[in-house]
Amino acid sequence: MKFSALSPGAAPGLRRLACGIGFGACAALAAQAQPTVAVQVHKNDGAIVVDVRAEVAAPVSVVWSVLTDYDHMSSILSDIKASVVKSRDGNHLQVAQTADTQVGFLHFSASSLREVDLVPMREIRSHLISGDFQSFDGTTRITEHDGQTTIVNHSEYVPKAWLPPMIGPSVIQSETTAQYRELLAEVLRRRGAVESSPETAKPAASGRL
């Protein structure tokens, strides 16, 4: 069973100057650069309820590109073995995924077909069509402030298969945290690619001939 689902924009010279002032300033910049993930999991009448809040120093456009890259999600998340957009009608998608995960000596595999509605750069809503769950509904919202993007996800799902007692909220919390850390690692990789591209390095036109 699958369990889910540096000061931004600062110029390199300014970073070096801040680090040159003292170790404390450098450490503060490093701490600010680290993405954060907080996950809460509980059970409610047979449903597993997951709430996630993650923050990363990256533009919302980069975060959005990762969260909605369903055709390449298997190369982003290690427990997603297959992911493909089966149909697309504007901002309405059908996404099929297969996931494998292992907890101790237990191995779980699950497949799902979900309908996904996108509100570009703001919200992702997912609803189960078919698969190894009785139900699944999730909403992800993203906001950006001063170059820091916040991801807030709320999802509720009911597995079809019986879960052994060892697969409790703490295990699901750990698995979900690992997933989001992989997502944020890809966000930072793409942010670096954008910042180092020749297009972003070009100076703005002055308007003078």
How does residue 171 score in pLDDT terms, banded at 50, 70 and 90? Answer: confident
Q: How far apart are CA 34 and CA 119, in angstroms?
A: 27
Which long-range CB contacts under 8 A does 7-10 form with residues at least 24 apart?
7/32, 7/33, 7/57, 7/147, 8/57, 8/58, 8/59, 8/146, 8/147, 8/148, 9/147
Task: Say what the pLDDT of residue 161 is.
Answer: 74
The pLDDT value given to residue 22: 53
For residues 153 and 141, give the distance between their C-alpha atoms in angstroms, rounded to a whole number. Answer: 6
When pLDDT is averaged across residues 15-24 and rounded to a whole number, the result is 46
pLDDT score of 160? 86
Render the burial of 12-29: b for 16+ CB within 10 Å, e for the rest: eeebeebbeeeeeeeeeb
Per residue in 65-115, pLDDT tens?
999 999 999 999 999 999 999 999 999 999 999 998 776 656 778 999 999
Indicate the pLDDT class of residue 146, thresholds 50, 70 and 90.
very high
Inform me whether the pLDDT recorded for 141 exceeds 90.
yes
Instruction: Write out pLDDT tens, residues 148-158.
Output: 999 999 999 99
With a CB cutoff of 8 Å and minimum separation 6, the contacts of 171 are 3, 103
Question: Considering only 1-5, 59-63, 78-82, 162-166, which range has the smallest mean pLDDT?
Answer: 1-5
At 131, is the secondary structure helix, strand, or coil?
strand
Split at pLDDT 50, 70, 90, the class of 128 is very high
Share of the chain above pLDDT 70, in %: 74
pLDDT at 205: 44
User: pLDDT-based confidence at 125, cuts 50/70/90?
Assistant: very high
**Could you report the per-residue pLDDT of 175-198, keeping only the tens digit for each?**
999 999 999 999 999 999 988 877
pTM over 0.85: no
As a 3-state breakdown, the chain gives helix, strand, coil percent values, each rounded to 5, of 30, 45, 25
> Is a pLDDT exceeding 90 seen at residue 35?
yes
Q: What is the pLDDT of residue 103?
A: 64
